[in-house]
Chain A
Amino acid sequence: MQAPLLSVRDLEVSFQIGGSDVPVVRDLSFDVEHGETLGIVGESGCGKSMTALAIMGLVPNPPGRISKGSILLEGIDITTASEKDLQALRGNDMSMVFQEPMTSLNPVFTVGEQIAETARAHFGLSRAEARNKAIEILRLVGIPSPEKRVDDYPHQLSGGMRQRVMIAISLVCEPKLLIADEPTTALDVTVQAQIFDLFRELQEKTKTAIILITHDIGVVAEMADRVMVMYAGRNIEKGPAIDFIRAPQHPYTRGLISCIPTLQADPPDEPDALFEIPGVVPSAVELAKPGCAFAPRCPNVIDRCKVEFPPSTQIENNRSVSCWLAQEETV
């Protein structure tokens, strides 16, 4: 079997808050295989985006830093690589599409220039070659009349078009790994569908592995091969996307799935109230306490949850969950 493209082991990312180190991502381990799509799901503030930035070697430092663990991209450890090595990897072997297309492009350069400079930096293309490459990739991401658009400034494009440009930037060097951090949150639903179609199409062509970060379960169901659920900086459930939707194991995952509104009501003329998980996401400082971070909100909480964090338990093929209840069932 081929070695995984990306292998994250025991990752911990900490932030200096009020003089002490507070971990925002903890004990995180996962692999991404060549060409697959891994969905990372969780609420705002659960550490999804920080995980993505850690992989890119872009954790804002100070105040943040990778305090433990390793991130291997084809054998190169991102956590110890020099800035120069990271520059060679970023945009080339791995790239990232950010959440905010409105602010992620530099307002004072044309979109063509912003695509072309990436190609120049990594492939050493001449200006003319890089410009042609930019036009080509703009066409690929579905921007009409790319010969004209290439000289547009970001403010002349709509949000959806700008996100296409961001995708074009991230794909211009045909990376092996593409991290998409909530790429459609800022866009409306029809544009969202187009962007995901685009991702799928491009993945078929380029065999790029994708890490898709989202809090939209529907998107995960549609796009991902495997899913990792994060809560309060930790991975609490991991497995094939199909199982995640059909038979969620962790009480938190079950809660997430129950939150999806349905069109069928029972009885039909009396729609159910929308389900919500009670309570709020704990702050990073609270997480220093022992025990499962979800315990205060969990409907199935037992005494043990409050004192000890459950280790990851393997259940059936390729699935794992961190919950004492699951542990008891398998024992």
Chain B
Amino acid sequence: MVKSLSKRIGNAVILLLAVLVLNFTLIHIAPGDPVEVLAGEMGGATPELLAELRADFGLDQPFHVQLFTYLGNVLQGNLGYSFYYDKPVTELIFDRIGATLLLVITALLFALFVGTALGIASAQKRNSLLSNVVTLLSLAGFSAPVFWIGIMLILLLSVALPIFPIAGMATADEPEGNFAYILDVVWHLVLPALTLASIYLAFYSRLSRASMLEVLESDYIRTARAKGLSRFLVVYKHALRNAVLPVVTFAGLQFAQVISGAVLVETVFAWPGLGTLAFESILRRDSPTLLGILFFSAVLVLVVNIVVDIAYRIIDPRISAK
């Protein structure tokens, strides 16, 4: 366990380096000059000022020098400086990452638990009403674009029926007290989390339904029934643990997708997280910030993958043996 874990972590570090080099190269190739954008925002500048700015940011250096300077800085924990926000990138990211994690983790956990529960319940009775409703909903969740679902939810539950706030993470005139603040954030969280969860909810309910149906046909389920165990034990003890394995695998693999989905959802709901920051930094050619966000996303994905790996070993004893 410890050995394979340290191997995984070693691989992750190498992968991160590769991600850094690749991202840096891609952004360097992409059109757009940050200095010109900056100049535009300032209302125009002389060519001398532009050259001075370039020299300040090191943008006049050859590509490989820039790359190695950047890698060296990252290894020292310095992700660079955002000339647009006029702040260190690390500080920018740490200001925002909490909001994104709150959104992503809430959505993912909601999708995982509710999706699996729906899938398992609908697998019990193949042609029941519940089963058909789940199939229909998951088809809808699959096919609808996530931003569209977000906008529809806003129209329905914020505009037509003003139950939830339209955007943001907290009310402007912050309510007094910690508890009230938490409640306020949760109230703002409902719609974005639901939107982000919708697509994965659909996916996990389909996946767990199919997996459950397959597991229920297996020999060891027949054995469990032949022992005289109750229906409850057969389904929720013997079948469930085997049926969630593919769901856990996919949850790990899809974590990267959930983060990219968060960019859209955050933009729709003006959620002050990394997604909106990434979106803004692309528009502003703020490459240090963008690179920093991409780097953090990669770290997150790798960490989640390792966590999933550990969860997998706990659920299925066969894996730790190999």
Contact = CB atoms under 8 A, between A and B. Distances in A.
Interface of A: 56, 58, 83, 86-92, 95-96, 98, 100, 103-109, 117-118, 121-122, 153, 155-156, 166, 169-170
Contact of B226 (A83, A96, A103, A109): A96
20 contacts: A58-B226, A83-B231, A87-B228, A89-B228, A90-B226, A90-B228, A91-B226, A91-B229, A92-B228, A95-B227, A103-B219, A104-B220, A104-B222, A108-B242, A108-B318, A118-B227, A121-B227, A153-B318, A155-B318, A155-B321
Contacts of B241: 108-109
B223 A117 contact: no
B46 interface: no
B219 A117 contact: no
A169 B317 contact: no
Interface string B297-322: 00000000000000000011110010
B233 interface: yes
A88 B318 contact: no
The 9 tightest CB contacts between A and B, nearest first, are A91-B228, A90-B228, A91-B227, A103-B219, A106-B220, A153-B317, A118-B227, A104-B219, A96-B226
A107 B226 contact: no
Contacts, number: 79
A104 B318 contact: no
Contacts of A88: 228
Contacts of A118: 227-229
Given A100-B219, A121-B233, A108 B226 contact: no
A103 B220 CA distance: 6
Nearest to B226: A96
A121 B223 contact: no
A130 to B, nearest CB: 13
**Interface centre among A95, A107, A122, A170, by most B CB within 10 Å?**
A107
A175 B226 CA distance: 12
A279 B223 CA distance: 35
A92 B228 CA distance: 7
B117 interface: no
Interface of B: 218-220, 222-231, 233, 237-238, 241-242, 315-318, 321
A230 B219 CA distance: 24
Given A58-B226, A105-B220, A118-B229, 10 more contacts: A87-B228, A88-B228, A98-B223, A103-B219, A106-B224, A107-B316, A109-B241, A118-B227, A121-B233, A153-B318
A170 B223 CA distance: 9
B220 to A, nearest CB: 4
A92 to B, nearest CB: 6
A106 B242 contact: yes
Given A88-B228, A121-B229, A169 B318 contact: no
A168 to B, nearest CB: 12
A24 B229 CA distance: 27
Contacts of B220: 103-107
A105 B223 contact: yes
A83 B317 CA distance: 32
Contacts of A122: 228
Nearest to A169: B227
A92 B226 CA distance: 10
A155 B228 contact: no
A108 B315 contact: yes
Contacts of A107: 220, 242, 316-318
Contacts of B225: 58, 90
Contact of A156 (B226, B229, B230, B321): B321
Contacts of A117: 227, 229, 233, 237
Contacts of B222: 58, 98, 104
Contacts of A109: 238, 241
Given A100-B219, A103-B220, A107-B242, A121 B316 contact: no
Nearest to A96: B226
Contact of B218 (A83, A86, A96, A103): A103
A88 B242 CA distance: 25
A144 B112 CA distance: 42
A155 B241 CA distance: 16
B315 A121 contact: no
Contacts of B233: 117, 121
A152 to B, nearest CB: 9
Contact of A108 (B227, B231, B317): B317
